[in-house]
Structure 1
């Protein structure tokens, strides 16, 4: 059997394969409540053979949304709306995961479908963004720097969202500390100019993340806990992959189990040259230096590419995003490409399992 189609167990949860669906924002919620679109969107990937399906960045508080159309899990109405969605994913043989998020200074922005750019004003349903320091992302409104009470509230919000997520039927929790959102903003010296215990040294800049990891672990003691990192800011003076590996070790000690390694998103002047698998080396570095399991993500298009990453020991699992959007049955197709006989083709689709010449 290929590594890609071998199971992976994290704590008490086993995914049937290592080809996973990355969290992808849909900007289609109403007051943070997921809609029928989210149900169909996520369930189709489970039907398509995914091992793990991770729901998009899900705000832990109203002010933690990227846009007014983001999903959330800060109240019980949202929890109830997630329940049939997680049940649909699980009933199709996949593991249901959720990415818990706070957008920080990149909150209260127009969704891609809204026609605006930059920050949403209060008159149009926007709100004041929060951040480690009063430094705006380019083109956005200046955020308010969190005080100590505000930081404590963020930790409490993540813990409450974690407990509510388990009640909603999610089996895996991921903390979003990447792509320029709040926890990443604290980690990077480009967005964190604090002079208190949450700024300055790497240990101080990582303090909020580690508090969140500990609080989420306490709220969900048995659930597999992932952390998504931007391993580098792709900008001079920013967070780099060596620092990320150090923080990953600390986060593992605090209760995290696996690390989802992405990159970028913190500053508009980042310099990235995307190419197939361009972030795999970052995942490999964190895996080796921190001694922790990781998944690779980013422009991973086909089965052979994904399998080779695992064969080379650069990652323990693969997340993909756009390829699942192009083909919601990516895993079924990938199994055929690798010559794997899997047992979880939907019986309704089994007639298409083999293509006749």
Structure 2
């Protein structure tokens, strides 16, 4: 039987009606206190009808971990009700919605961050400045913030969680040897560098249980010699596979370095390389904008789901055309 983007799939115990996922993209519309607003309700609700899953934009677990001054957070109980209005709007279309939990670490917004922290005192660039290396107590505090964020995520009606371990933010900073030079249990060998992610994942599982879907977003390459690769990711994530329900594969962000060429499906080889090591679904993302290409990726078993971002951002009906129309759907972005 030919596999297509229209076919259902399971992420853990959750059944998706198709394999097209709305990728998380920031809206830059949160209040100064990091609350979601009517824009978010309308934006996600408008796009939820045809996709199999919506993943909310990056949502901060800490007041000192916001990625931008106008993003949203889930670091107090007061954030729950505005987020519940988003999940209600998505659920009105019988579509599940995940929240992406994040902490910016050394890439937290200078405008709203009181204390810039990271695994090591290594700056991303001059704009952010040099962070303070986290103490063991500081690490434990942030892990607890993830646990509380997971608790609030369930209260807000989310159907699952995506742990943001990509794009150079805090968990990614711990994982890469280019940003983690610690000499304690959280640095050095790959097993130690993966400890922070492991403890965040286990703290979330403690709160939500094993049946609640949890996936992780990764940057498969740092685009720099000595950085992370798909093979390195596979070694670090394989021991965590029993606690994960999917892997969402992106690239870059750890350093102010861009890929040499951003072409159609440019991140797909990294997703395919990671997929061969795992039995859980792998999500490919990155300029996969046509039904023909999406179906070929799935049929060739290079990935299990396709995430799209910018086309949906600019055209809320894009998913409908991609899924329903047989002719080629083109996007010029």
TM-score range, shorter chain: over 0.9
The alignment of Structure 1 onto Structure 2 pairs a total of residues equal to 323
Q: Is the 8 A contact 1:80 1:168 kept in 2?
A: yes
**Match for residue 304 of structure 1?**
292
What's the CA shift string for 1:126-185, capped at 9, x where partnerless? Answer: 422110001010222111111000111111111110111011000011000000000000
* Max Rg structure: 1
Q: Distance in 1 between matches of 2:288 and 2:76?
A: 35
Q: Is the 8 A contact 1:248 1:290 kept in 2?
A: no
**Residues 241-256 of structure 1 correspond to what in structure 2 (within 5 A)?**
241-253=230-242, 255-256=243-244
- Structure 1 gap segments, 5+ residues each: 109-118, 340-357
1:331 CA displacement? 2.1
TM-score (norm: length of structure 2): 0.94
Asked if 1:225 corresponds to 2:226, the answer is: no
Q: Is the 8 A contact 2:3 2:298 kept in 1?
A: no
**Match for residue 36 of structure 1?**
38
**Residues 202-351 of structure 1 correspond to what in structure 2 (within 5 A)?**
202-221=190-209, 222-253=211-242, 255-338=243-326
Q: Distance in 2 between matches of 1:281 and 1:218?
A: 34
Q: Distance in 2 between matches of 1:240 and 1:2?
A: 28
Asked if 1:61 corresponds to 2:62, the answer is: yes
Q: Is the 8 A contact 1:235 1:270 kept in 2?
A: no
Asked if 1:131 corresponds to 2:126, the answer is: no
**Match for residue 201 of structure 1?**
189
- Structure 2 gap segments, 5+ residues each: 328-333
1:327 CA displacement? 1.9
Q: Is the 8 A contact 2:65 2:113 kept in 1?
A: no
Of stretches 168-177 and 5-14 in structure 1, the one that deviates more from structure 2 is 5-14
Q: Distance in 2 between matches of 1:220 and 1:3?
A: 32
Q: Distance in 2 between matches of 1:44 and 1:16?
A: 17
1:308 CA displacement? 1.1
Q: Distance in 2 between matches of 1:5 and 1:83?
A: 28
Cα distance, 1:26–1:159 mapped onto 2, change above 3 Å: same
1:269 CA displacement? 3.3
What's the CA shift string for 1:24-78, capped at 9, x where partnerless? Answer: 111111111100111111111113x111011100000101101221101111211
RMSD: 1.4
Cα distance, 1:218–1:272 mapped onto 2, change above 3 Å: farther
Q: Distance in 1 between matches of 2:212 and 2:151?
A: 10
Q: Distance in 2 between matches of 1:153 and 1:338?
A: 51
Q: Is the 8 A contact 1:249 1:291 kept in 2?
A: no
Q: Is the 8 A contact 1:2 1:338 kept in 2?
A: no
Q: Distance in 2 between matches of 1:2 and 1:288?
A: 18
Helix, strand or coil at the partner of 1:63: coil
TM-score (norm: length of structure 1): 0.88
